[in-house]
C-alpha cells in the first residue's frame, strides 16, 4: 500500500511516444501521471496506487484521474489488470502496467531498462510472468467492500472492462467520503437500474447523483425517501383518478402514463 508520506525514490520515465503523442497534446498532466506510474512500477513492473492516491498527489478530482488513466489505456500506454482474491471471484485490487519501450534504452549513460528491480521495458511480452509476482496486494480503497461491488456487477450486469473498473472505483472512493455505507448505496443503485432494465453506468451515476444532491447518504435515508415518493405517487394517483373520472378518461391508463412520467422525473431521465 502506498501512502503520501512514502514518495518513490526511483527514476521515472517519460518516453518520446507518450511525450509527442498528438492525442495527448491537451493533456500535459496526463503525461506526468504516466511518468509517475512508471516510477511506482520500478519495484515489481506494475503500479498498485489508487485513484485517490493520485488525486491527493496532484490535487485533482478523482474523476479527472480516472479519465487520464482511461486515456492512457485507450492509447495503449497502460494495461490495467484486476487482481482476484485466491480461489475467488472477488477483486482484490488493480495493477497498472506501463506499456512502452524507452527511447535509447541501451545507450551508455542513458536509462537502463533492464536494471535490477527496474521497470520492464518489454512488459508487453512478459505480462504472464509478471502476473505471478506479489499476489498479496493491499489497496487503499478497501478490497473487501469494493470487491463485492465488482463481483455483483460481473454476476448480474456484465464483465468488467478497464473503463468500468475505473468508473466503479472512482464512485466508491467518492461515496466513501460522504457515506458510512458506500457499498450498500452503490449496490442499491445498480439493483434499481436493473429493475428498470438499464445496464448503463451513466444511469447508475445519475441515480447516485440524485441521492447525493438530496443528502441521501445511507440506506435509512433511502428508505425514507422512497416512502415519501410512494406517498406522493399515491396522492397524485387519487387526484388524477378523480379528475380522469370526471372527464370520462380511463383512470388506470391515464395514471400509468402519469406514473411513468413521474419515474422519469424521479431518476432524472
Angle (CA) 53 88 197, round 5°: 80
> How far is 150 from 163, CA to CA, in rounded Å?
13
DSSP alpha helices (H): ranges in the chain? 16-19, 28-40, 51-58, 62-74, 123-130, 143-156, 162-176, 182-195, 201-213, 219-247, 251-267
Question: Could you tell me the residue ranges of all domains in the chain?
Answer: 16-130, 143-213, 223-267
Q: Model's pTM, two decimal places?
A: 0.48
pLDDT of residue 60: 87
pLDDT of residue 61: 85
**Tens digit of pLDDT per residue, the chain (269 long)?**
455 545 666 678 888 889 899 999 888 899 999 999 999 988 788 998 888 889 888 898 888 888 889 889 888 899 888 777 777 666 677 889 998 654 333 334 434 444 344 444 444 333 333 333 333 333 333 446 787 888 889 889 988 887 888 888 888 888 888 888 999 999 999 999 999 999 999 999 999 999 999 999 999 999 998 888 888 777 766 666 666 565 555 544 444 444 445 555 555 55
The CATH class that applies to domain 16-130 reads mainly alpha
Q: Are 196 and 154 in contact (CB under 8 A)?
A: no
Q: Which three cell numbers stand for residue 216?
A: 441521501
> How far is 99 from 225, CA to CA, in rounded Å?
47
> How far is 231 from 239, CA to CA, in rounded Å?
12
Q: Are 169 and 48 in contact (CB under 8 A)?
A: no
CATH topology agreement for domains 16-130 and 143-213? yes
DSSP string, 198-214: ---HHHHHHHHHHHHHT
Q: How many residues does the chain have?
A: 269
pLDDT of residue 212: 92
- For 207, other C-beta atoms within 10 Å of its C-beta total 21
Q: Are 47 and 73 in contact (CB under 8 A)?
A: no
Label each residue of 76-107 as H, E or C: CCEEEEEEECCCCCCEEEEEEEECCCCCCCCC
**In the block, residue with C-alpha cell 482511461:** 70
114-to-8, 34, 110, 125 alpha-carbon distances in Å: 18, 19, 12, 14
Distance of CA 254 to the CA centre of its chain: 40
Q: Which CATH superfamily is domain 143-213 in?
A: DnaD domain-like (1.10.10.630)
Helix (H, G, I), strand (E, B) or coil at 47: strand
Of 111, 26, 15, 110, nearest to 71 (Cα)?
A: 26
Amino acid at each position: 500500500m502506498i501512502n503520501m508520506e512514502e514518495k518513490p525514490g526511483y527514476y521515472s520515465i517519460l518516453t518520446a511516444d507518450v511525450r509527442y503523442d498528438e492525442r495527448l497534446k491537451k493533456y500535459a498532466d496526463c503525461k506526468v501521471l504516466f511518468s509517475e506510474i512508471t516510477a511506482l512500477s520500478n519495484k515489481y513492473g506494475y503500479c498498485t496506487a489508487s485513484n485517490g492516491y493520485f488525486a491527493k498527489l496532484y490535487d485533482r478530482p478523482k474523476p479527472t484521474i480516472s479519465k487520464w488513466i482511461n486515456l492512457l489505456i485507450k492509447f495503449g500506454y497502460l494495461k490495467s489488470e484486476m487482481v482476484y482474491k485466491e480461489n475467488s471471484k472477488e477483486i482484490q485490487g488493480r495493477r497498472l502496467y506501463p506499456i512502452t519501450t524507452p527511447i535509447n534504452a541501451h545507450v551508455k549513460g542513458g536509462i537502463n531498462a533492464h536494471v535490477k528491480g527496474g521497470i520492464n521495458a518489454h512488459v508487453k511480452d512478459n505480462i504472464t510472468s509478471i502476473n505471478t509476482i506479489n499476489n498479496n496486494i493491499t489497496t487503499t480503497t478497501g478490497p473487501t467492500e469494493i470487491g463485492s461491488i465488482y463481483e455483483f456487477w460481473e454476476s448480474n450486469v456484465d464483465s468488467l472492462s478497464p473503463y468500468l473498473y475505473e468508473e466503479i472505483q472512482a464512485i466508491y472512493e467518492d461515496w466513501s467520503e460522504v457515506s458510512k455505507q458506500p457499498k450498500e448505496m452503490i449496490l442499491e443503485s445498480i439493483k434499481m437500474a436493473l429493475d428498470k432494465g438499464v445496464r448503463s453506468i451513466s444511469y447508475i451515476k445519475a441515480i447516485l447523483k440524485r441521492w447525493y444532491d438530496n443528502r441521501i447518504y445511507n440506506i435509512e435515508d433511502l428508505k425514507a425517501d422512497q416512502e415519501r415518493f410512494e406517498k406522493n405517487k399515491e396522492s397524485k394517483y387519487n387526484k388524477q383518478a378523480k379528475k380522469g373520472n370526471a372527464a370520462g378518461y380511463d383512470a388506470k391508463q391515464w395514471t400509468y402514463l402519469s406514473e411513468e412520467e413521474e419515474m422519469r422525473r424521479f431518476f432524472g431521465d
